[in-house]
Structure 1
Amino acid sequence: MSGDELRIRIGRRFSWRRLLKSGRAEVRRSLQARTVAMVVAVTLAVAVIFSIVSMVSVRTTLLNQVSMQARNDFSNMVQQAQTGLDSADVSDSVQYQQLVNNLASSLQNEGASNLVSVYLSGKDDESRLIVPVSTDPTYEDAVTDDIRTAVASDTHSRVFYQPIAIDVENRTDVPGAVLGTTLDFGAVGGIEFFALFSYESQENSLTQIQLNLISVCLALSVLVGIVVWLTLHGIIRPVGVVAATAETFAAGDLDARVPVTRKDEIGSLQDSFNTMADALNQKIDELEEAGAMQRRFVSDVSHELRTPVTTMRMASDLLESRKDEYDPITRRTVELLSGQINRFQDMLADLLEISRYDAGYAALDLVETDLRDPIRDAVEQVSGLAQAKGVPIHADLPNVGVLVYFDSRRIVRIVRNLLANAIDFAEDKPIDVRLAANRRAAVISVRDYGVGMPHDQVPHVFDRFWRGDPSRARTTGGTGLGLSIAMTDAKLHQGSIRVRSELGEGTWFLVMLPRDPRLGAVPDNELPVDFERGTRRLAITGGFGIADNRSADYIKREGKPRASESASTRGGAR
């Protein structure tokens, strides 16, 4: 494998963008990572600001010091040069030039370590007695015309200072300074003296200080991040243990507890959680015991009332058979008595059914039968009530059998209770009963177009003894247990009942039943019909009839078809 291929492969495995995306996701997901990132960012920002302020201050102070030092060094050089000129005994131009050359060399050799070059020239250029001398001609251009003019026009031997930037050893813009003055040398009318100083070493020191500050900032940020991470880890980890234990407790493991490992506030949280769990356990036990006692009471009372109610029923039947012999008032009393006894018997039957379910004694008598039969039976049982209320029932069922394993008695009761509820609230409008099926499940639909319910009441329709509008006249004499029992029967079949309602548009029930309850519940995505998700509208997805994934469902057994084509078009039925 070539080096280029290896680099390409490594580049594919490692991506800064993927790393950044992963880090952002971790920061959003983790409180610990978010806190550490924020603390590190703040620490780094503070350290950077402090470093910048410190560098500006240090740079200003250092440049002032080196500038002062350069001035002092130049003053010493001026004093040395002036002493040399004053003590010199020369008479001709050759000696003058030799003296200036020696003086420049002496000043360069004995000057400060940051002295770059010395430049000497006669103040009177017309005399031509002295040729300008430079110890390093490379930097002659560093002596600008401005400082030359200032020195040439000075008559009081003042020292002039000019900051400059010079190039030193392949480095550009190194800070430095040119200092200049006039030396008194009567024979030639004076000598202009310039000295070039470099601040390279000070600049190197500043650079090193900057690198050190950057390193300290980064190290400090990393150290603070590690400290904060470890601190938060010590806090969040036990809190996470408490949260995990709470989830376990909520899932049903009532014996889940948190080990108390600390004596600080976290320890108080752990101990408080355990105390709360114990209190909840005790309360749950009390509620379960109270519920069991209530269920036993209801069951015992229901059983005990069956005998006297049967006796009352017999007496009422006797009176009913001879009511024509009574006067109108007595006859009406007998009719009311018979009706209330019937309602009492229905309530006892419902209570006994509920008590059997609560006690875990309810069982299914599964038989593979045509699901249309119990639907027809239920429609027939409520037909008299529907006619009396003036409510038409439209049963639109497939024209072929829908074989399903079910308990016929319970399915009849489910549909009958849903129809009785719909008749109560249909307000002379029709009720539609339809059936959908595929290979896995069957769905019975019961819809009325009556008054409907507000959305906040819909979740309570299956609660025991709950009524959406207690003020309404209940001509059916319902007990308030019908829909609860219907849901119980559906759950025994590994199914469920779903409901939607709109005020003024009616109520819609869908009874979801697996084709074979012994195989367990059917996932929502495999149901032939369901309510539209993400909305509360009275709308469904799928279609009624018999189909499987938009194709005809022919399931043959011993040469006989078990199902046929859909009896209606699919999709978006309302």
Structure 2
Amino acid sequence: MALTVILTLSVAVVFSVVSMISVRASLLTQTTSQSQSDFSNMVEQAQNGLDASDATTTVQIQQLVNDLASNLQSDGASNLVGVYMWSRESTARSIIPISTEPTYEGVITSDIHSAVASDVDGNVFYQPVTLPLASDALSGNTPGAVLGTVLDYGVAGNLEFFAIYSYALQQQSLTQIQLRLLAVCVLLSIAVGVVMWMVIRGIVRPVEHVAYAAETLASGNLDTRVEVNRKDELGVLQRSFNGMADSLNQKIDELEEASASQKRFVSDVSHELRTPVTTMRMASDLLEMKKDDFDPATKRTVELLSGQINRFQDLLADLLEISRYDAGYAALDLVDADMRDPVNAAIEQVAGIAAAKHVDIRAMLPNVQVLAKVDTRRVTRIIRNLLANAVDFAEDKPIEVRIAANRKAVVISVRDYGVGMDANTVAHVFDRFWRGDPSRSRITGGTGLGLSIAMTDALLHHGSIRVRSAIGQGTWFLVMLPRDPEQEAVADSDLPVDFARPSSNDFSITGGFGVAESPVAERSNAMAIMPMTTSHDQVIPDGNDSMADDEKDDER
């Protein structure tokens, strides 16, 4: 609106300036023409008076010229300032110069005086001048004009005749026109501004209503609608928004119904499969007990059957766990536990597959208890799933497991130095049924649910799992768990260890591993407080730890 007002005012000002220039030129031409016409009439009247005169003496001639100047002044135009006459030649019969307004006699410049004095053809000379207004200093100067010619008076010789005209009225008219144009410009700009404000407001307000409704809809209120009160394009927008909201509601209902059906299907199938899988497990165990009595081909078949049934049971257990999460039935069985116990249990569970792939799991844990209130079964499953994933991609390189703790939180680190992942893979690593490299051989027989279940278990503890990975540098998981999940979540600044930067391939961390303050200090005075060897704000750069660091961690 401001831009429109400024443009309108600019256009109006330009138009006014052009108009003023045109009006001024036209008014000047008209005034000049009138002055010249009036002066010509005066010249004719004066010449007729001189021609008709029978004055012979100097006194009579002087009197005649005086009377003639007075008559011309009184009969002249309203803007005539003064009439001036004097002899062209200095003779004995020269008249005394006549001036009806001596104040402005100095306005007659020497240029026009010389031009009239040297003229022999009776031409009329015109010169624009400025008339000072001595009576009103604030009024400034007034434009005017001087016209001059020669009158033929044989008795006294030729007379130089001048007349001064004032353009004060025309100047006042121009000033009034300027003021009026200025007022028109301002009023026009205000009117345009008001009209634009009304028009824009009429457009913006319905759009604001639609925008507010869109924000409300995005916040989760799916019943939000806008009032359709227009028939123009904005009305089309209002109707389109309401139609979009209805369609969105319908799609969400359909997706919710499909999701519920899918969840019920997974849950029902998982539960229904438990009985036949249990029967198959029993039959497989029976065959496993007697496999040594079979021929080598049958024995191998029994071993394969047992392995696949184990994998089927793991998949079934994961599906049942997922169905519990989706149904909202998952709950924590919190107990005060030493965090080293579930970590060691998870390491023991994956030790066999790690040995099969020649992967060394290095547990560098504190030598004091690290007590926290957790669901040990779920924490063990978190670490087991992370270790199983690390074993699959370790590429015969070691896996490091560490613990960091302070008064508020416990952080469990699982790091491998294998193939690593790119940024796109890291973004999907916790998605269900998603595998970073399906073509790779996996001893663990992953289902694509392990990391998703691990993240859900961590979230149930009001914690989280963060990951850093880079191609050729391995993958690093940090499991953040509060010491007491029944309290409020732990802020990032209160974590004993965290990644220093948000980049998905930056392995720098803040803090250090070990026990900053014994988690059991509040429960038992028998335990010593073990200080950490690194401060909370220390940044540990990317790279493998040396054997000296490993020994220090073992001592902690």
Give me the TM-score of the superposition, normalised by structure 1: 0.87
Deviations, residues 92-144 of structure 1 (Å, cap 9, x unaligned): 33333333333333333332222223222211146572233333333233222
Paired AA for residue 47 in structure 2: Q
* Separation of aligned partners in 1, 2:498 and 2:75: 101
Q: Quote the offset at 1:448 in angstroms.
A: 2.3
Matched position secondary structure for 1:259: coil
User: Sequence identity of aligned pairs in percent?
Assistant: 63
**Equivalent residue number for residue 513 of structure 1:** 481
Match of 1:485 in 2: 453
Corresponding residue to 2:16 among 51, 67, 77: 51
Q: What's the CA shift for 1:220?
A: 1.5
What is the alpha-carbon distance in structure 2 between the residues aligned to residue 394 and residue 203 of structure 1? 102
| Corresponding residue number in structure 2 for 1:28 | none
Match of 1:320 in 2: 288
Q: By how many angstroms is 1:159 displaced? A: 0.9
Q: What is the aligned counterpart of 1:568 among 524, 531, 534?
A: 534
Aligned counterpart, 2:552: none
* Residue number in structure 2 paired with 1:177: 145
Equivalent residue letter for 1:185: Y
Of stretches 341-350 and 182-191 in structure 1, the one that deviates more from structure 2 is 182-191
Distance in 1 (alpha carbons) for counterparts of 2:348 and 2:84: 126
- Name the CA distance, whole Å, in 2 between partners of 1:442 and 1:535: 23
Name the amino acid aligned to 1:47: A
Change (3 A) 1:365 1:190: same
- The match for 2:3 among 38, 43, 66 is 38
Match of 2:469 among 501, 512, 515: 501
SS at match of 2:486: helix
Query: 2 CA distance for matches of 1:472 and 1:260?
Result: 58
Which secondary structure state, in structure 2, belongs to the residue aligned with residue 427 of structure 1?
A: coil
For residues 406-425 of structure 1, what are the structure 2 equivalents within 5 Å?
406-425=374-393
Structure-2 residue corresponding to 1:238: 206
Q: How many Å apart are 1:413 and its aligned residue?
A: 1.1
Aligned residue in 1 for 2:421: 453
TM superposition shift of 1:512: 2.7
1:386-441 CA deviation, whole Å, 9 max, x = no partner?
Answer: 23222233334445444433211111111211121122112122333333444443
Whether 1:123 aligns to 2:88 is yes
Deviation at 1:466, TM superposition (A): 0.6
Q: Which moved more, 1:492-501 or 1:406-415?
A: 492-501
Distance 1:318 1:203, change over 3 A: same
Compute the displacement of 1:363 (Å): 0.5
Cross-structure match for 2:549? none
2:464 touches 2:479 (CA, 8 Å); kept in 1? yes
**How much does 1:486 deviate?**
1.0
- Whether contact under 8 Å (2:468, 2:507) holds in the other structure is no
Who is 1:79 aligned against?
A: 44
Matched, 1:359 2:327: yes
Does the 8 Å CA contact 1:447/1:508 hold for their aligned counterparts? Answer: yes
**What do residues 163-218 of structure 1 show as CA deviations (whole Å, max 9, x unaligned)?**
22333333445322211111122122211111222222222222222222222222
1:156, CA displacement in angstroms? 1.8
- Aligned equivalent of 1:135: 100
Aligned mates of 1:101, 1:402 — CA distance in 2 = 129
2:265 matches 1:300: no
| Unmatched runs of 5 consecutive residues or more in structure 2 | 542-556
- Quick one: which amino acid aligns to residue 151 of structure 1? V
2 CA distance for matches of 1:224 and 1:470?
68
Match of residue 212 from structure 1: 180
Give secondary structure in 2 for the equivalent of 1:233. helix
Q: Which residue does the alignment assign to 1:93?
A: 58
Residues 403, 562 of structure 1: 8 Å contact kept: no
Aligned to 1:149: 114
Q: CA deviation at 1:147?
A: 1.2
- Judged with a 3 Å threshold, the aligned counterparts in structure 2 of structure 1 residues 86 and 463 are, in CA distance, closer, same or farther, namely same
Pairwise CA distance, 1:361: 0.4
Amino acid at match of 1:41: I
Aligned equivalents of 1:329 and 1:43: distance in 2?
A: 96
- Conserved in 2, the CA contact under 8 Å of 1:497 and 1:509? yes
Greater gyration radius: 2
Q: Which amino acid counterpart does residue 86 of structure 2 have in structure 1?
A: S
Q: Report if the CA contact (8 A) 2:359-2:394 is conserved.
A: yes
Cα gap change, 1:87 to 1:294, in 2 (>3 Å): same
Match status 1:434 vs 2:402: yes
Give the Å deviation of 1:371. 2.9
In the TM superposition, residue 354 of structure 1 has moved relative to its aligned partner by: 0.1
Greater shift in the superposed pair: 451-460 or 285-294: 451-460
The answer for unaligned runs of 5 or more in structure 1 is 1-35
Of 262, 284, 287, the match for 2:230? 262
Q: Which amino acid in 2 is paired with 1:379?
A: I
Over the aligned positions, Cα root-mean-square deviation in angstroms equals 2.5
Task: Find the counterpart in structure 1 of residue 513 from structure 2.
Answer: 545
Partner of 2:433: 465
Is 2:406–2:496's contact at 8 Å kept on the other side of the alignment? yes
Quick check: 1:432–1:446 contact (8 Å CA) kept in 2? yes
Determine if the alignment matches structure 1 residue 159 to structure 2 residue 116.
no
Change (3 A) 1:96 1:353: same
Name the CA shift for 1:75/1:401 in 2 (closer, same or farther; >3 Å): farther
Cα distance in 1 for residues equivalent to 2:407 and 2:51: 123
Q: Equivalents in 1 of 2:401, 2:429: separation in Å?
A: 19
Alignment correspondent of 2:554: none
